[in-house]
Structure 1
Amino acid sequence: MTIQDYLEQALAHMGCENAEITIEEDEQTIKATIRVPEEDSGMFIGRRGETLTGLQRIVATTFRDQLGEKRISVDINEYKVRRGDAVQQMALEVAERVKESGKPETLPQLSPEERRLVHMALKDAGVVTQSEGEGIERRLTVFPEGNLDAKSK
């Protein structure tokens, strides 16, 4: 069974028979882009993308042996693209505040993928980023450059 077949069946079991699924693959990633009717998108994306993240985990676990070192990314109605843009914008705004105030700032809970986006977005922004904690308690803190000792409250 292919990833596309698997997703078609999973979405059909969730009540969506008319999803359009596109699979793109490069050396590092397999990206499944799913289009569903806009009125159904909330059900498939979930609160803060939790349902979408769960679907992605299930696909990754199911196809672990076939994926090898590749990562799987599942997106519905470009939610991750829009969310990624918003997270990057928030990160840049936080970086500016941190540079102006000289005080570190801890970001709200982010997914591992979103934390990775922040680390990359702020790599050359004159600040230092650091993730701390485990699991759902993991948080990313933005520090003024050269000041990893100060902890945000």
Structure 2
Amino acid sequence: MKKLVASGKTVEEAVRSGLNQLGVGEDRVIVTVLEQPSKGLFGLIGAKEAKVELQVRPDGVEEAIEFLREVTGAMQLKVDIERKDERDQVLIQMTGDDLGILIGRRGQTLDSLQYLTNIVANRHSDRHLRIVLDAEQFRERRRQTLEALSDRMAGRVVRTRKEVVLEPMSSQERKIIHARLQSHPQVRTYSQGDEPHRCIVIALK
């Protein structure tokens, strides 16, 4: 946890000085007053400034980004990391060359890294954080692929009158398929099995 000692003629001035040096807002720090200001003899001799210690509160998302920098650095990957705060989650987008190794087969490596990133973020946060990790817009491309798959498999179920069991997927990917077909007039979806082998079944209504 980052700490800084700052001084000023008043406690308020010392705090402002510390915040300027740290580049953060007052809501991001814990302030401890180390010394109150004193005027000294005749208001001049022995005068002491106020001294405060500012301790930066840990930011879970920043800690998660630092974790990602360490991981990608260890893999000798040059990665740009961009943070986007959304309504109920934080999207961390990674861009760079040769990020296929970070994505893995059908995003399995990316999902595992996302799981670890969420652990790191929530370890350093006093509120629950939900982080979605993406690399080279993989999540959007995968969403489009899954929606196209949903449409094809729904058509097969209608045509053959037989249910279709899809391969095991993460809960995030299963939600995409459920959402895509929830308003379909002829088929319904449900999940079966246990993690990590839980899969979606598409069946006639």
Structure 2 residue aligned with 1:51: 109
CA shift at 1:67, angstroms? 7.7
Q: TM-score, normalized by length of structure 2? A: 0.65
In the TM superposition, what whole-angstrom CA distance separates every residue of 1:13-72 from its partner, at most 9, and x where no partner exists? 2211x31111111221111010020xx222111122121111101101111252834421
Aligned partner of residue 28 in structure 1, secondary structure = coil
Gaps of 5+ in 1: 146-153
**In structure 1, C-alpha distance between the alignment counterparts of 2:67 and 2:120, rounded to whole Å:** 9
Deviation >3 Å, runs of 4+: 67-70
Residues 56 and 72, structure 1, Cα contact 8 Å, conserved in 2: yes
1:84 aligns with 2:134: no
- Paired residues for 1:4-153 under 5 Å: 4-16=65-77, 18-37=78-97, 40-65=98-123, 66=125, 68-126=127-185, 127-145=187-205
SS of aligned partner of 1:136: coil
Alignment-mate amino acid for residue 15 of structure 1: Q
Q: Which has the higher contact order (CA 8 A, sep 6+)?
A: 1
Q: TM-score, structure 1 length as denominator?
A: 0.85
Q: CA RMSD in A?
A: 1.6
How many pairs does the alignment contain? 142
Q: Which runs of 5+ in 2 are unaligned?
A: 1-58
More helix by share: 1
